[in-house]
Structure formats: C-alpha cells, structure tokens
A and B are shown apart, each in its own frame.
Chain A
Amino acid sequence: MTRYITMRVLSTIPVMILVALFVFLMLRLAPGDPASVIAGDYATAEDVERIREQLGLSDPIVVQFVRWVGSLAQGNLGVSIFSGKPVTELIGQRLEPTLLLALTTITFAVAVAVPLGTLAAFRSGSLIDRFVMLFSVSGFSIPAFVMGYILIYVFAMQLQILPVQGYKSPFTEGIGPFFYHITLPSLTLSVIFIALIARMTRASVIEVLEEDYIRTARAKGQSEFKILMRHGLRNAAVPVVTVIGIGIALLLGGVVVTESVFNIPGLGRLVLDAVLARDYPIIQGLILFFSFIYIFINLLIDLSYTLLDPRIRY
C-alpha cells in the first residue's frame, strides 16, 4: 500500500516534466523568432533585444530548459513582460474567484448529476431515463458561452431576478451577494459537467444492479432505497469519481469561457488578457498551473480508490 502510494506520487513527476517540456517547446517551435513574436508587430529592434535578454533566449536551448525547470522547482513561474510582476503573484490575486466558481460548480453538478443518474439507472428505460439521456447528449452539444447567454437572457434580462454579470467576494462583500452573482456562471459551467457525471453514474449503476449481491439484498427483503444507496451507488462509485477527475480538465477550460461571459476577474480572464497582450510568461505559467492542478486532482482520485472500494488493493 505505502509502496503503491509512493510509486503513484513519483509517477506524476515525469508527466509534470513532460508538460513543462511541451510548454517550453511551444514557444521555441513557433514559427519565427520567439522574442519578436512576443514583442508584437509594432516593436522596435531594441524591444526585441530586451525581451531576448529577459528570457535568456541567446543561450543554448538545453541550458534554457534546465534553468527554467530549476526555477519552476523553486516555485518561480517567471515575470510578466508587461506589468513586471511575478506570475505567481498575479495568479494569487486572481485565484479566489476561479477557485470558488470551480468549487460551487463541482458541488452543484455532483449534487444534481449523481441522484439523476442513479434514478435513471433504477428506472432504466422509463421517461426519467430518457430525459436524463437526452439532457446528457444535449449538454455535450451546447457550448458553455451560448448556455451562459441563454441563462442571462432568461434570468437577468426577462425575469430580472439575477444580475447580468460581475463577481462579489464572500470574504469582503458577504455570502449573500456572492451567491447572488455566482449562480448563473455556476449553472452555465455545470451543464456539461452534469451531462458527463449523470451519464457515467447511470451506466455504472446499471451494471452494478445486475450483480448477484443486489439479488441477494432483494431476497433478504432489503428496501429498494437501501439497495440503491448502500449496494448500488457505493459499488458504482469508482467510475463516477474517475469521470469527475477527467471532467476537471473540461472545467478548467470552461472557466476561461465562463469568466469571459460573466466578466469575472479570475484566472480565465488573466489568460485571455495575457493572450491579447502576448504576455508569454503568464500564458506559460497558467498552463503549467492548470495542468499541475489537473495532475494533482487525478492523483488524489487514484489514491481514493482504496477508500471507496476496499476490494481494490495494491
């Protein structure tokens, strides 16, 4: 067990190094001189030279990579070209809205999708089941921002019960305004997540309900609710939790779009602003940051399997 955990934790290191290598090479393999790409179309020769020096682009490529990974290992993601601030500081400033948006979305999506999927599996073939399946196919087909605008149109413009956009911090402006503003973005972002989780929950529970121990539970007179909760859902948990982990990548991508629609000053907006300004250290730092979060969450999920299902041993 300890051996497995150690191996699994260590196995994330090569993946992280590979991600770092991708991000590093992306800039170097781009057509043209990276320094002038970053400097933009209106840069003078001095600007290009300054950026080249700043990024250490005159050194051999292996030296650059080793130096860069070395500074990453010390938690240094580089310095923004335009504001001159460290990227870690910029991420710190923008972290709260994104983190809270992601958390409310996951909580809401799991709270809706798991019961929905379980119900669909329990009444497989019924009207509810068809509705859940229809919802999950549609959920994969509507882009998050269109969903966002539909919700804005209905709830903010027609019914006028929720604000069009904006973000209020629960720490400085109170928990009420926070939820008032986060509801629509959270709903928007959760649609695809609900579709994904409900679909997997349904498939997984249907499979479990065919097992012998379910028949045994029925035979001894266990109530259907307890069968579903104690035997069904519990045994179906591993694939469901796995798909939540995979969905984190979707969520992190969706954050960029949702923050843009609802004008939330989070990491997604930071990425977009950096893209428009070609502030490459910020783009680099944020891709790494998001990827490492994804890798870390999936590590936790892998390790949680033994807790969820004692039959899994390593």
Chain B
Amino acid sequence: MSDQATLPTEPTAAAEAAKDISLARIALRNRGVFWGGAILILIALFAVFGPFFTLDPMELNPTNRLKPPGGAGTFGTDMLGRDVYSRVVSGARVSLIVGLVVAVVAVAVGLFLGLIAGYIRLADALIMRLMDGLMSIPAILLAIALIALSGATLGTVVLAIVIPEIPRVVRLVRSVVLTVREEPYVEAAISAGTRVPTILVRHVLPNTIAPLIVQATYICGSAMLTESILGFLGAGIPPEIPSWGNIMSEGRTFFQLTPWIIFFPGICLAVTVLAVNVVGDGLRDTLDPRIARNMR
C-alpha cells in the first residue's frame, strides 16, 4: 500500500484495480476475515431475500399471541400475535442498512475533515477543538437528544448515530496525514509546485485507505449496537419498521413470560456485530500492521 504511494508516478486505473484485488486476496487468507465475512454474507442474504419467504412482519394474529417458539412460528409470536421470525428477518435489513450507511457517511465526512485538519495548520486547531468537544458528549446521550428533537425516522436515527462517530475518524485520518506530510514524496510534490488539493488526493489520501477500511468495520458494528440501544430505549426507528432494537423494546413488558422475543433478535444482533468485529480485527492484522502492532 504505502510502497505504491511512495512512487511519485501516477498510478493508472489498471494498477489501482490490481492492487485492490491483491489486497482482497491477502485479507481473505486471514481466518477472521474469511469466517466473519462468510457469516455476514449469509446474514445479508437472509436480509435481502428472507422477507420474500416469511409472513408479513406487521400482520396481527390476536388468537396466536405470545406463543412459544416451535408452535405457531419458528421463533414464536409476540403480544400482538405477530410472527417473531418474520420480524427478526425483516429487522436484519434495518440493522445492515444502518451499519453500512453510518460507516460510509462517517468515514466520508471524517476523511474530509481529517485531511484538512492534518494538512492545513490554520484549520487544525479549530477542527480538533470541535472534535474534542463532540467526543466529550457520551454518544448515546447525544443520539437520544438529537432524535428527541428532530423526531424519529430512519434518516434522523442514522444522522444521530453518525455524528458521534465522526471525531474518531477525523483523529485517525489526521494522525496519518501528519506522518505522511513529512515524507520525501510529499515534499517533492510541494517543491514541484503541486496544488494542495492535488497533493491531498493523490499522495496523502491513498495512505489513509487501509486504516479507514479497518475503522469503517468497527464503526459499522458500533452503529448497529447503537441503533438497537436507541430502539430498545424507545428513541430509535419507529415501530412501523421492525428493527432488532424495537422488537426487543416491545418484548420488554412480557420478558418474564416470553423471553424469546428479546433473545432471538438479541442473539442475531450479537452474532452480526461479532462477525463484523472479527472481520475488522482480521483486516487490521493484514492491512494495517502499524495499528496491529499497538493493539496486538
């Protein structure tokens, strides 16, 4: 990765693609990436195609309320007689979408701010103080407050989870930029009169990709957890869209009678986040030896 970037020549599109393929191949040799990835693909298949084969997750069936697993449905039914299995499969979509969207948006915004903070001294102090302030507010509280104010929709929930994640990305990108900007090839580019945006995009940005991929997986996992916590607290995605969080929230009242309403989505969530984190650890070990040494 960094070898590629030390060459001041422009990497062609073909070379870029070849690099990506080899990175992917190296990463797949890692057991964590392989097995975690396999589980995630399975869950994603369930999320995408599963709802076509289940009952309507919103369909009420008052005669079949609070039935244990095995009888009326694979995972039993909830207090309104809705099929828990159908609801959990449909909730998988929400969790995966929230995880992916939050990871992509947080990385994109964090990358932009981090590049500017790391390279432009004047902006550095301002951006980093802002990030310090943002990091001092506990993420869950910040998210709850944002949602309480703007009303709970899929969009506001995603935004409320993204905002507390941004400072971590900014710090990471900034630290990479600070080391890269001292490298000879960046100095060479400066003395050759390359404009700042070009330097940032062509010489600095490629160095941030590996650590960012790793960070993005962790953000994806933590976003799914936060979504479920918000849903559980009743401050998350509205009940019209079944999510693992709000299914568990609705299962609270009858927990002592029907613990499966919380356990099935809970286990699905834990397995999904575990798979994401295992992939993240594997990617960190293979793609980013610098962090791997510190965290080993």
Residue numbers of A with Cβ under 8 A of B are 14-15, 18-19, 21-23, 26-27, 30-31, 34, 37, 137-138, 140-146, 149-150, 152-153, 157, 164, 199, 203, 206, 249-250, 252-254, 256-257, 260, 271-272, 275-276, 278, 280, 283-284, 286-287, 290-291, 294-295
Contacts and interface: CB of A to CB of B under 8 A. Distances in A.
A30 B129 contact: no
Given A14-B129, A143-B270, A145-B229, 12 more contacts: A137-B274, A140-B273, A141-B277, A145-B232, A157-B256, A199-B295, A252-B141, A256-B144, A260-B233, A271-B144, A278-B148, A291-B136
B266 interface: yes
Interface of B: 129-130, 132-142, 144-146, 148-150, 221, 225, 228-229, 232-235, 248, 255-256, 259, 262-263, 266, 269-270, 273-274, 276-278, 281, 294-296
Contacts of B233: 256-257, 260, 272
Q: Determine which residue in B133, B146, B281 has the highest number of CB atoms from chain A within 10 A of its CB, and name it.
A: B133
Contacts of A14: 129
A260 B255 CA distance: 14
Contacts of B228: 143
Nearest to B270: A142
B146 to A, nearest CB: 7
Contacts of B135: 249
11 contacts: A31-B150, A141-B221, A144-B229, A146-B248, A146-B269, A153-B259, A153-B263, A249-B135, A253-B140, A275-B145, A294-B138
Main secondary structure of the interface of A (DSSP, over half): helix
B139 A203 contact: no
Q: Determine which residue in B129, B138, B255, B259 has the highest number of CB atoms from chain A within 10 A of its CB, and name it.
A: B138
Contact of A149 (B263, B276, B294): B263
Main secondary structure of the interface of B (DSSP, over half): helix
A19 B137 contact: yes
Contacts of B255: 149, 152
Contacts of A144: 229
Contacts of B256: 157, 164
Contacts of B146: 26
Contacts of B139: 249, 253
A27 B149 contact: yes
Nearest to A18: B133
Nearest to B141: A287
A203 B88 CA distance: 37
B148 A275 contact: yes
A168 B229 CA distance: 26
Nearest to A124: B296
Given A141-B277, A291-B138, A149 B234 contact: no
B142 to A, nearest CB: 7
B144 A290 contact: no
Nearest to B255: A149
Nearest to A250: B138
A302 to B, nearest CB: 13
Contact of B274 (A138, A157, A260, A294): A138
B270 A146 contact: yes
B266 A287 contact: no
B273 A283 contact: no
Q: Which 9 A-B pairs have the closest CB atoms?
A: A18-B133, A253-B140, A146-B266, A141-B274, A30-B149, A141-B273, A253-B138, A252-B138, A275-B148
B286 to A, nearest CB: 16
